[in-house]
Structure 1
Amino acid sequence: MDSHRMGFNATPATMLRIGLFIAGIVLLGTIEFLETDVLFAGIQFEEVFIFRLTGYANLVLVGSTVLYFGHMWSGSESVGRWASGMALLGSLTSIVALVWRWIETYYLHRLGHIPLNSLYEMMSLFSAMTVLIYLVMEHVYRTRAAGAFVMLIVFGAVVFQIWLAANDQTIPGAHVRVLKSYWMYAHVLGSFFGYGAFAVAAAMGAAYLVRAHAESLGRSTGFAVQSLPELRSIDGLMHRAIVVGFPLFGLATVLGSVWSYEAWGRYWAWEPKETWALLVCLTYGSYFYCRWVNKLHGRRMAWWTMAGFAITVFCFLGTRMLEPGLHAVGRAII
């Protein structure tokens, strides 16, 4: 499938999308200028327009999820292009909303706040990073058939954000001393690039198992055989996602140790979050050992990626809910 059919050339439609995105940025700047006079320290965050932009971005991502499933079932290329376009728009809008959220917290006298220390903000970052990593792979390898599996994970993140909003957990995290560190910002960004790549790998693993199951039944029709890539291609995409995510997450863990020394005077304390982060590294490190040394491929590696992502989710969310340790600082989530 050539790049023109995938819709990545500078076609009139592409130029129109770029123009609309730029126009949206200009519109947001205008709204920001008009709202500046009414901002005050005690205003509720939900009352400011820009903080609602994340909700609009999530709606676009939900729409993209529906379109990806429609593309997978129908094979329609036009539906696929719209699915990719909406996914890109939703992820970029989420990032713009986070950046603008940072800007407006300055007006609200929360100097120095960067939107990386509350769970609501981090779920938005996770959705954006997952989508962007997948879209890069979609562009490079000229296939979007597995996008539905990736967007299903993003949809779960959006639903969780809705739950957080319903429970009044959209306010930025507590601005305490240990959060005022560039090491922390680098640690969080690196971690979420890793989370996003692991999510893409798990989605590819699920796609692999679906196609493998269909082939084991001897089916020659149906979306699993006609829409999903060949098993070897899915296996390669799954592997490349982990090749991207593992070093980024490992680097983020090292940066977290440096930040820990700066904040608490020790590099490692074996508290729950650190222990599970090490387990994540060992899980994906073992994946490479099994693939390169034991020459394992196929279903077992697909299950491995899904199990690894489950461990990653518990490292991020489970430890906070069950054993928060030092990584839960006030209302913040690290």
Structure 2
Amino acid sequence: MELALNQPAPLWKRLSWFDWLFAVIIATGSLFALSRFGDFMDIYEKAILLAAIPAMALFGWFWKPFRVLFLVSAGVALFAISQYQGSLARMEEAFFLKYLISSQAAIMWMCALFGLATLSYWAGLLARSGFLLKTGSTLTWSAVAMGLIGLMVRWYESYLIGADIGHIPVSNLYEVFVLFCLITAMMYLYYEARYQTRQMGAFVLLVISAAVGFILWYSLDRGAQEIQPLVPALKSWWMKLHVPANFIGYGGFSIAAMLGTGYLLAQRGILASRLPKLEVIDDMMYKSIAIGFAFFTISTILGAMWAAEAWGGYWSWDPKETWALIVWLNYAAWLHIRLVKGLRGPMLAWWAVAGLFITTFAFIGVNMFLSGLHSYGTL
């Protein structure tokens, strides 16, 4: 009887009116998009859009803060889209577009906010200031919102250039680095709330700030913010599934590496009194790798299926594919050692840190130093 009383109520009984309102808004928006743009979609893209309705609703029910983040970002993005009035030239004429919520302006604000968040987290960690740590969290949430707005508006801008050019903004290094920042920050914010460990933001935001540095260099030096037509191989609905899943993997692995860095410092008595207990950091590191590995596995399978459609074979030992396999084997071994052998402690922390270098080479090093079927991603 006592066990029965302690059982949680079914999910549908635990939902608030705001949960249901969020689901209705998601469904209404998706169905409107289907009615408005369905003629430009194939059957697979329509299926993805319809499947996104329950997926987004469930995600919002599972992680409550996501509801507000999504609704605010979508609302501001829709306002930005209305300001264009069908002309890309309005980007330089309308005040809000020019300085705040065009795609490039919003992404630059995202970069600035992530930089300020990094400084706030470190200041809060070193000064033991709860206020500064909370400020870091607020700035990180704000940066994520601006990044989401930037990507959504960029998607619309690509169609203003031309219906044949329009595409989801996950097609080149500039766009996926923005996506990496957003996914990594959102994953961290979830763990931050779950474990009540704002102190670890000082470490995780370092890797996001490194990505921000790349975005700024890539924009200012290479003009990468300019929207370009897709190469033929990328004109596929597979991209909408493969790329986001891949970067959830990269985000999880990056968080684990920075948590591993914090673990190693605390284990040596550096900042130990300011950081969470080693057991807490270890558990966060494990769960980050587990989630990242699950999505990276899904991404690899989707990538093989996409390759079969685009190039006629599931696997060709292209450098990008080979390094993806190396990344997968690295984290498969890490999880095996932890789960089967029960190993904990500094060795796995060092391994997680080393894994970031392997992942980084697979992410960007291949594009810089090797060539192959994925050469459309070169610098």
Structure 1's unaligned 5+ residue stretches are 1-17, 216-223
Q: Note closer, same or farther for the CA distance 1:266–1:52 as it changes in structure 2 (3 Å cut).
A: same
Could you say if the C-alpha distance between residues 21 and 178 of structure 1 is closer, same or farther in structure 2, counting changes exceeding 3 Å?
A: closer
Distance 1:266 1:212, change over 3 A: same
What is the rounded CA distance, in whole Å, between the counterparts of 2:252 and 2:70 in structure 1? 25
Determine the structure 2 residue equivalent to 1:162: 216
Confirm whether residue 267 of structure 1 aligns to residue 314 of structure 2.
yes
Deviations 1:254-311 (A, max 9, x none): 0000000010110000010000000000000110122123332111100101111110
User: How do residues 113-262 of structure 1 correspond to structure 2 at under 5 angstroms?
Assistant: 113-167=167-221, 168-214=223-269, 224-262=271-309
Aligned counterpart, 1:39: 88
2:159 alignment partner in structure 1: 106
Cα distance in structure 2, aligned partners of 1:121 and 1:27 = 20
Number of the residue aligned with 2:348: 301
- Alignment coverage as a number of residue pairs: 303
For 1:184 and 1:147, the matched residues in 2 are separated by: 31
Percent identical pairs in the alignment equals 34
TM-score by length of 2: 0.75
Counterpart-to-counterpart distance in 2, 1:189 and 1:22:
20
User: Matches of 1:314 and 1:173 in 2, distance apart?
Assistant: 25
Measured at CA, do residues 23 and 267 of structure 1 come closer, stay the same or move farther in structure 2, by a change above 3 Å? closer
Partners of 2:240 and 2:84 lie apart in 1 by 28
Please state how far the C-alpha of 1:180 moved relative to its aligned partner: 1.7
Work out whether 1:315 is the aligned partner of 2:370.
no
Secondary structure of the residue that 1:249 maps to in structure 2?
A: helix
String of CA shifts for 1:228-265, please: whole Å, max 9, x gaps: 01111111111111111001001100000000001011
Counterpart code for 1:61: F
| Structure 2: 5+ residue stretches without partners | 1-66
Deviation of the 1:145 alpha carbon:
1.0
- The answer for the alignment partner of 1:63 in structure 2 is 116
Greater relative contact order (Cα < 8 A, sep 6+): 1
What is the CA–CA distance in structure 2 between the aligned matches of 1:170 and 1:282, rounded to whole Å?
34
Instruction: Indicate the larger mover: 201-210 or 287-296.
Output: 287-296
Is 1:54 equivalent to 2:107 in the alignment?
yes
| Stretch moving more, 138-147 or 260-269 | 138-147
Name the SS of the counterpart of 2:315 in structure 1. Answer: coil
For residue 21 of structure 1, report the CA deviation from its aligned partner: 9.2
Residue pair 1:117, 1:172 contacting (<8 A) in 2 also: no
Q: Counterpart of 2:205 in structure 1: which amino acid?
A: M
Contact 2:104 2:225 in 1 (8 A): no
State whether residues 253 and 277 of structure 1, in contact with CA within 8 Å, keep that contact through their aligned partners in structure 2.
Answer: yes
Distance 1:303 1:104, change over 3 A: same
Question: What is the CA distance between 1:23 and its match in structure 2?
Answer: 7.1
CA contact 1:118–1:172 (8 Å) conserved in 2: no
Q: Distance in 2 between matches of 1:229 and 1:143?
A: 7
Task: Please say if residues 118 and 173 of structure 1, whose CA atoms lie closer than 8 Å, have aligned partners that are also in contact.
Answer: no
In structure 2, C-alpha distance between the alignment counterparts of 1:239 and 1:37, rounded to whole Å: 48
CA distance in 2, matches of 1:235, 1:24: 33
SS of the aligned residue for 1:169 comes to coil
Secondary structure class of the residue paired with 2:344? coil
Match of 1:85 in 2: 138
C-alpha separation in 2, matches of 1:27 and 1:291: 44
Amino acid in the other structure paired with 1:36: Q
Q: Does 1:73 align with 2:126?
A: yes
Three-state SS of the structure 2 residue aligned to 1:117 is: coil
Tell me how far apart the structure 1 counterparts of residues 305 and 168 of structure 2 sit (CA, whole Å): 19
Structure 2: distance between partners of 1:185 and 1:27: 23
**Separation (CA, whole Å) in 1 of partners of 2:68 and 2:250:** 31
- The CA distance in 2 between the partners of 1:26 and 1:51, in whole Å, is 18
The answer to which of 142-151 and 30-39 deviates more is 30-39
Measure, in 2, the Cα distance between the counterparts of 1:142 and 1:176: 44
Deviations 1:154-199 (A, max 9, x none): 0100001111012212223441222121212211110000011111
2: CA distance, partners of 1:19 / 1:137: 18
The question of 1:96 aligning with 2:145 is answered no
1:260 to 1:333, Cα distance in 2 relative to 1, 3 A: farther
Give the residue type in structure 2 aligned to 1:162: L
Q: Shift of the alpha carbon at 1:37? A: 5.0
Letter in 2 for 1:175: L
Aligned residues of 1:67 and 1:79 also touching (Cα < 8 A): yes
Corresponding residue SS for 1:268: coil
Q: Distance in 1 between matches of 2:330 and 2:139?
A: 33
